[in-house]
Amino acid sequence: MKGDYQDLVDEISALLGAPATLENRDFRLIAFGAHDSDDDLAMDPVRTRSILTRQSTADVRSWFEGFGIARATGPVRIPAAPDAGVFRGRICLPVRYRGIVQGYVWLLDQEPGKPGPEPAALDAAMDVAQRIGVLLAEEAKAGADLSREFLAVLTAGPGWPQDMAVAALRAALGPGGDGLHAAVCVAPWPGEAPASVPGAAAVCVVPRRAGGEPGGAAGSGAAAGPGSEPAGDPALAVLLRLRSTDALAPALAAVARLLPRAAEATGTGGRAASGAGGGVGATTTAVARGVTAGVADPVRGLADLPAAWEQAVAAARAAAAQPRFGPVAQWSAIGPYRLLATLAADPVDDPAARTLLTPANRELARTAEVFLDCAGQAGRAAAALGIHRQTLYYRLARVEQLTGLDLDEGEDRLLLHMALKASRLA
């Protein structure tokens, strides 16, 4: 499919005598024509960022949509705006299918005073854009049609039910089923799955098990079956297609764009996180409070997909427990939570840590966690907490009194450290 898009973009570039770029309706880059100009105005910050990062910022999207491109049925001319990082005007060709916008083809307009493309050439380019719209719509429909098979793989019980589900998904995906994939969990996810996610082979909404985790086949339990009602909010599962392991990073950007949508629907709000790059105004991304995503290690083929889903669920839970992992956490980067998120399917209630984890002892629990994070080095822990070493010793003595544990003993330290970390996953 990628080659088809590139051929069509090249055809538009030839018709209009200018390099073209194709983005989907979420402004994620799909293909772009060759650019051999030495004109600095041609590669302005907005165009450069789109090509290098394969996406545009939310501010860029909002600015361009202000010119009515989502409603237009023909070419739209957009003037230059140097203050916004748009040094050269644009011609936007809306890519539509049955009246619904699927994406946009972008071209640099001629400099003021120079003639632009002839109307006949623009009409011919719009015909090509219509063919692109058919391909984009078919791709989105294919991903939606696979939701049932994808969900079956993630919720089937172990053994032959899982094997049959995997075989059905592989048959539906065709040759692409043997390629490289990454499983993604976005939780919580309200409502239905989105019509399309850039780079996704399939998407589905997974109900939650009674324990509060998204249902799955491997690891910590079976899916909710007849007679049992799933509890809590569902999660969105995304099966990303990857050309190589190096392609995972740009794919994560598409995942991050899902979080504000989920936050808005759940009413959880958001916080602003600034990023780098040229664009219209400041580059800000809404990061949803309470909505996180986890990404599994890439797998080749589909046999390991159920286990990859468990990794994605664990990473999403870790991201919710530890903000330092970011709103989109990779399973390979969550450290001890790789085990804890699987073990702590239910809220932790170890007798030794029960009293320490009450609200009245919150500061003592934090002191103990920082001390254990610092490998028991009192000097480092005191500095991290901003307290005197003697104050640290006093608090640790209180921790021992409340828990009955001896912090000079390795296994007692391990038990307490696991209980404190796992409590964040509750």
DSSP sequence for 102-163: EEEEEEEPPPTTS----HHHHHHHHHHHHHHHHHHHHHHHHHHHTHHHHHHHHHSPTTHHHH
> What pLDDT was estimated at residue 46?
59
Using the predicted structure, report yes or no on whether residue 150 has a pLDDT greater than 60. yes
Predicted local confidence at residue 385, as pLDDT: 93
What pLDDT sits at residue 132?
92
Task: Taking each helix axis as running N to C, give the angle between helix 378-385 and helix 389-403, from 0 to 180 degrees, rounded to the nearest 10.
Answer: 100
Kindly tell me if the per-residue pLDDT of 223 is higher than 70: no
Averaged pLDDT, 236-264: 77
Q: Which long-range contacts (CB under 8 A, 24 or more apart) does 136-144 make?
A: 136/24, 136/95, 136/97, 136/102, 136/103, 137/97, 137/98, 137/100, 137/102, 139/1, 139/196, 140/102, 140/195, 140/196, 143/196, 143/197, 143/200, 143/201, 143/202, 143/203, 144/193, 144/195, 144/196, 144/203
Q: What integer pLDDT is reported at residue 92 of this predicted model?
A: 93
Share of the chain above pLDDT 90, in %: 28
Q: What is the mean pLDDT of residues 104-128?
A: 85
Mean of all residue pLDDT scores within the chain = 78
CA dihedral (254, 64, 54, 144) in degrees, to 10, reads 40
Categorize the per-residue pLDDT at 276 as very low, low, confident or very high, splitting at 50, 70 and 90: very low
Tell me which long-range contacts 29-37 makes (C-beta under 8 A, separation of at least 24): 29/54, 29/55, 30/2, 30/5, 30/103, 30/198, 31/2, 31/5, 31/6, 33/9, 34/10
Query: Per-residue pLDDT for 269 more than 60?
Result: no
pLDDT at residue 123 tops 50: yes
Q: 């993604």: which residue's tokens?
A: 184
Q: In Å, what is the CA distance from 268 to each residue of 62, 75, 250, 312, 355?
A: 22, 38, 26, 22, 30
How far apart are alpha carbons 380 and 357 in whole angstroms? 23
Q: What is the pLDDT of residue 30?
A: 84
CA distance 25 to 10: 20
Long-range CB contacts (within 8 A, 24+) of 264-272: 265/190, 265/191, 266/188, 266/190, 266/233, 266/290, 266/291
How many other C-beta atoms can be found within 10 angstroms of the C-beta atom of residue 253? 16
State how beta strands 270-274 and 90-97 pair. Answer: unpaired
Any bridge partners for residue 286, and if so which?
272
pTM of the complete model: 0.57
| Reported confidence tier of residue 335, pLDDT bands at 50, 70, 90 | confident
3 state SS of 373: helix
Three-state secondary-structure class, residue 13? helix
CA dist 147 and 168 (Å) reads: 12
Which residues on adjacent β-strands are paired with residue 203? 238
Position 198, amino acid: P
Report the range of poorest mean pLDDT among 32-46, 102-116, 230-244: 32-46
Q: How confident is the model at residue 45 (pLDDT cuts 50, 70, 90)?
A: low
Tokens of 227: 């007679």
**pLDDT cut 70: percent of the chain above it:** 75
| 182 touches 297 (CB < 8 A) | yes
Of 18-22, 26-30, 249-253, 335-339, give the lowest mean pLDDT range.
249-253
User: What CA–CA distance (Å, rounded) separates 178 from 159?
Assistant: 21
Beta-ladder partners of 104: 23, 94
The span from the first CA to the last CA of the chain, in angstroms, equals: 43
Residue 3 has pLDDT above 90, yes or no: no
What's the pLDDT band for 271 if we cut at 50, 70, 90?
A: very low
pLDDT of residue 57: 67
Q: What pLDDT does 218 receive?
A: 42
Q: Distances from the Cα of 67 to the Cαs of 18, 183, 378, in angstroms? A: 21, 36, 60
Cα dist. 160→157, 217, 266 in Å? Answer: 8, 12, 37
Confidence of residue 239 (pLDDT cuts 50, 70, 90): very high
Which candidate, 233, 417, 197, places its Cα nearest to that of 320?
Answer: 233
Q: pLDDT band at 266, cuts 50/70/90? A: low
